[in-house]
Structure 1
Amino acid sequence: MTMLSIIYTTYNEIDIIERSLATVANWSDDLVVVDSFSDDGTAELLRRTEGVTLRQRKYVGPSDQKNWAIAQAKHEWILLLDADELVTPALRAEIEALLAAGEIPHDAYWIGRDNHFMGRRIYHSGWAGDKVIRFFHRDRCRYNDNQVHEEIITEGISVGWLKGRMEHYTFKDLDHFLAKTRRYAKWSAQDYAERTPRVGLYHLFVKPVYRFFKHYVMQGGFRDGREGLIISGVLAWGVFLRYAYMMAERISKKQP
């Protein structure tokens, strides 16, 4: 039987972390939560949760935090989760079967996510094909350096697919969605800076309009009703903010 380490990285997740932990309860003897000094009660909750090891570390970026946590894992195989991801019974059973088999065919595995927003599951709007690598070998996998949408580097490794899925509750409400979009826009401005020598009308108007069209029309956001319209609009706004932040940063550097 191959043993499993379970890792979370958290910051202010008091609203969802208990639900996620319940889906992996009594599964691993190495369940570690790396917390970025939450101030909403998350750390206190984790300290009194049986079977959880809490470690607190200053947050530099998502990849840095996850890669540090991976290196600390006790076992070779890791299930790495965000607090807003819930493991379904089918997914847990599938991973348990792989671990019981002894020899796991791939180095890492894609897992599909069912996204929820404003009280309902979103079937379109560009979220239908959402997937992440969350089950992988500790010594063969690391995250790239992206500040936004960091991912496991797949070059040189074998990646399979799991049939089981996760439930994903990434946004608590509309205010959280807007705040997270603004934060991601600032970070993605750093990721896109080198490939964008000049910010112009194309970046501030054409790309946001296209992003809305892509999510709402091409990816069927209109089929998700009002929620699809909100998602498409906020994601387009995020693209606009990315380049607005980039332009503002460059202007500020030129000023005496």
Structure 2
Amino acid sequence: MDKHNTKLELSVVYIVKNGGYLLEKSLASVFRWVDDIVLIDNGSTDNTLAIAHNYHARTFHELAHHDEGKLRELALAEARYPWILVLDHDEVVTAELQTEIQSLLSSNPAPTAYWIPFRNHLFGRPLRYGGEQYRKLVLFHTSAIQLINTAVHARYQARNKKTTKKLNSFIDHYSYQNLFQLITKFTDYGIRLARQRYEKNEPLSLKKLFMYPLHMFWARYIKDKGYRDGPLRIVLDGAFAYMEWLSYIGLLYYLSVHGPHRHHNRHV
């Protein structure tokens, strides 16, 4: 592959496990216009590393023992530049967003963080309703953010929320690829969310166990008009309800087996 000579002093960072063909699609959307790609491999068993090397990404692997927060800290530490764009393997930068970022960073902006809109896809089709278009803080100067780690997702938070800005163009997110991947994804989320609820000593009730999943489905499919995306939204919003139910079944399991969570006091 030919590399263009003029590239932005921007580091794109990934945390990946078994990225497959979507990783290649994501890398192709940034390869020709950014100067640094960092990929932290979290124990892939497919051709993730070969794909990354084909796009001249700097790879760091055999790190499967770290949680997501630690992996994201490592990615930022390995980045060559203070301006960072954070992508997952199933996220693709649109041509419009590329132009917007190039124009922005070429103007030498003050260090801050930018909210970028995401456009989710279900089985290859874009979604427009029911909470599936949102913004994430994924373009930033490292001095402007801090990393917040949770059991389900680590996220970046602006040190000064009043200085954050918004971009207009989308990242396309191919989060829901097929039925098997969808169920696997939400099962994993439900298990991790159960652990998070347990560690926060969240109380359990029959209402949470039975009514919260139904409310999750109603809120996404009816209240937020997910039905306007077509009948397949029933599958997606049912998966969200399943995740909610599984998180409380998991909490019930933890409480039954281990009893209430005990916080360990740490003295500094």
Match of 1:19 in 2: 25
1:87 partnered with 2:86: no
Contact 1:106 1:160 in 2 (8 A): no
The answer on whether the counterparts of 1:29 and 1:51 sit within 8 Å (CA) in structure 2 is: no
Residue 223 of structure 1 deviates from its aligned partner by: 1.2
Match of 1:247 in 2: 252
2:71 corresponds, among 39, 51, 65, to 65
Q: Is the 8 A contact 1:125 1:231 kept in 2?
A: no
Q: Is structure 2 residue 16 aligned with structure 1 residue 10?
A: yes
Gaps of 5+ in 1: none
What do the CA deviations read for 1:108-155 (whole angstroms, capped 9, x no partner)? 111111111123111112213x22111001233232111224321234
Residue identity matched to 1:248: Y
Q: Is the 8 A contact 2:93 2:171 kept in 1?
A: yes
Question: Which of 148, 159, 174 is equivalent to 1:144?
Answer: 148
Q: 1:121 to 1:203 in 2, by over 3 A?
A: same
Q: TM-score, normalised by structure 1?
A: 0.92
Equivalent in the alignment of 1:116: 121
Structure 2 contact 145–159 (Cα < 8 Å) conserved:
no
- Structure 1 window deviating more from structure 2 (107-116 vs 142-151): it is 142-151
Partner of 1:226: 231
TM-score (norm: length of structure 2): 0.88
Whole-angstrom CA distance in 1 between matches of 2:255 and 2:129: 36
Partner of 1:153: 157
- Name which structure has the greater RCO, CA cutoff 8 Å, separation 6+: 1
CA distance in 1, matches of 2:82, 2:8: 8
What is the Cα deviation at residue 230 of structure 1? Answer: 1.1
SS in 2 for 1:29: strand
Please point out which of 190, 198, 204 is paired with 2:195: 190
What secondary structure sits across from 2:160 in the alignment? Answer: coil
Q: Distance in 2 between matches of 1:181 and 1:42?
A: 22
Q: List runs of 5+ in structure 2 lacking aligned partners.
A: 1-6, 260-268
Which one-letter code corresponds to 1:151 in the other structure? R
Q: Does structure 1 conserve the Cα–Cα contact (< 8 Å) formed by 2:147 and 2:156?
A: yes
Matches of 1:193 and 1:154, distance apart in 2:
28
Aligned residues: 251
Pairing 1:31–2:41 present: no
Letter in 2 for 1:13: G
1:213 alignment partner in structure 2: 218
Contact 1:106 1:159 in 2 (8 A): no
On the 8 A contact 2:116/2:136 being kept in 1, the answer is yes
Percent identity of equivalent pairs: 27
CA RMSD of aligned residues (A): 1.8
Query: In structure 2, how many angstroms separate the alpha carbons of the residues matched to 1:138 and 1:154?
Result: 10
**For the Cα contact (< 8 Å) 1:67–1:142, is it kept in 2?**
no
Task: Please list the CA deviations of residues 141-177 of structure 1 after superposition, one character each: whole Å capped at 9, or x if unmatched.
Answer: 2321112243212343421100111111012211111
Separation in structure 1 between the aligned mates of residue 192 and residue 132 of structure 2, nearest angstrom: 21
